[in-house]
Amino acid sequence: MRMSLGENAKMALDTLLENKVRSFLTVLGVVIGITALITVASILVGFYGDVTVYLDDYGPNTVWIFKFAPGLHTGRLTTEERNRKPLTLEDSTAIREQCPAIALVSASVFKRVDDYNRPPLITARYKDKEVSGLDYSGAPPEYEQVFNAHPSVGRFFTEAEDLHRADVAVIGYDLGKDFFAGEEPVDKTISVEGYPYRVIGVLEHRKGQFFRNPAVEKQVLVPYRTYRKHHPNDDEHFIGAMVVPGHMAEAQDEIRGVLRRRRNVPYSAPENFGLSSAEEIASQFKQITGSVALLTAVVSSIGLLVGGVGVMNIMLLSVTQRTREIGVRKAIGARRRDVIWQFLTEAMVLTSAGGVIGVALGVGISLAINEWLPSLPSTVPLWAVLLAVGASMSVGLFFGMYPAVKAARLDPVEALRYE
């Protein structure tokens, strides 16, 4: 007689419950592989989402321009990169005047970076408190809009303060907490490299957790002309250009054309400057996380392979132990495909149970990460859960096929005589 899929599944579950320890040890490899898959997928998805939120907070329509490509620049600069001349304030003016797709431009000036693209160590003081590792620069009032740098307390500096070289500063969120915990920061005076600045605002806390730059949260922004008054020899410039929505590609082409002309780059020569945007840097991170995901998939596949071999062994043993049962079923009319589906269902239920355990462990680890390591974002994606369950069922289907076919091919007469 033919058995329904539900009856096969019920029989498989009964077999699992009768041999709990053996079943668990059989699918331990599947459990480990699925747990690794869910855990790493949740960390990568959470990390990528955190990076995207962080970058978008600086303006999704903003182009970042530096003498080499802003973003994931790691390692020592090449000789050619070290010898590139800095961008200038005049470059930002030309971009604003000659690029119709650009709505607003900001040029920040700061000390030159070292061979590893690291700024020099800068210290600020307030009374008896001292904080090092600041992001100290001069910027125009347009910086607030271009980089979405809005004060949570106080205000941003004005065009008049820039023109009159006023000694005022807007500071980062963390620096405000370090210096002014429990007191009003506005109109307090801090010292940066020996120069006094009156604090007029504290910037909002930047979104994102893991990726955020501690130096940015300890930022000291002063008017552009104020900075040049105190540091006339500093000439490193970073330009931000706010693009008219929907014209990102056009804006980047216009900027490239202006800078190539101004920096005398021949038509056939590579650019001696770099452009980037939040979308492009996020894409770079996506490629990196994709490589990590591929490596995780390989490691998880090893666990699934080990689990699959264990399932095949246990199913072959089950065929041997249940030879008489198979003979009885075939003697009363069960067809080969009925026997095949019985053992395939049992193998798939076995590995699916391992997959469910692995998903539960992965979700638990993700929740634990969010609880104990809030700075490391972790989000379990639905596609990872579905992929994990589907992969575990596929392992059962693949590795259970040989035992199932072997059982179906048993001669009923010989099977009934089996002791």
Q: In whole angstroms, give the CA distance from residue 229 to residue 187.
A: 21
| pLDDT in the model for residue 1 | 40
Instruction: Give domain limits for the chain.
Output: 5-53+284-416, 85-272
The helix or strand, by DSSP H or E, that contains position 234, with its residue range, turns out to be: none
- Are the C-beta atoms of 304 and 395 separated by less than 8 Å? yes
Classify residue 186 by its DSSP letter: T
In sequence order, what are the residues at sequence separation of 6 or more whose Cβ sits closer than 8 angstroms to the Cβ of residue 139?
106, 107, 108, 109, 221, 222, 223, 224
Instruction: Confirm if 248 and 103 have CB atoms less than 8 A apart.
Output: no
pTM flag (> 0.75): no
Q: Where are the alpha helices (DSSP H) in 63-111?
A: 79-82, 89-98
Q: Can you spell out the DSSP letters for 340-376?
A: HHHHHHHHHHHHHHHHHHHHHHHHHHHHHHHHH-TTS
Q: How far apart are CA 147 and CA 125, in angstroms?
A: 26
pLDDT score for 2: 44
% pLDDT > 90, the chain: 32
- Report the pLDDT value the prediction gives residue 126, as an integer from 0 to 100: 92
CA dihedral 229, 235, 236, 237 (to 10 degrees): 70
- The per-residue pLDDT for 179 is 92
Tokens of 119: 């700024």
> Could you report the per-residue pLDDT of 203-222, keeping only the tens digit for each?
998 876 655 666 667 899 99
Partners of residue 131 on adjacent β-strands: 124
Nearest to 225, CA basis, from 163, 274, 167:
163
Coil/strand/helix, residue 266: coil
Q: How many helices (H) and strands (E) does the chain have?
A: 17, 12
Residue 143, classed as helix, strand or coil, is helix
Residue 119: the pLDDT is 72
* Distance (Å) of CA 312 to CA 47, 168, 221, 317, 348: 37, 74, 66, 9, 11
> What is the Cα–Cα distance from 186 to 198, expressed in whole angstroms?
8
Say if residues 143 and 227 touch (Cβ distance below 8 Å).
Answer: no
Q: What CA–CA distance (Å, rounded) separates 381 from 170? A: 39
pLDDT score at 138: 96
For the chain, residues with pLDDT lower than 70 are: 1-19, 71-75, 115-117, 208-216, 321-323, 326, 333-334, 411-419
Cα radius of gyration (the chain)? 32
Q: Work out whether strand 195-203 and strand 219-223 pair parallel, antiparallel, or are unpaired.
A: unpaired
d(CA 412, CA 396): 26
Model pLDDT, residue 28: 83
Instruction: Supply the pLDDT for residue 392.
Output: 86
Structure tokens, 205: 């806390």
Positions of E strands within 94-150? 102-110, 123-126, 129-132, 135-139
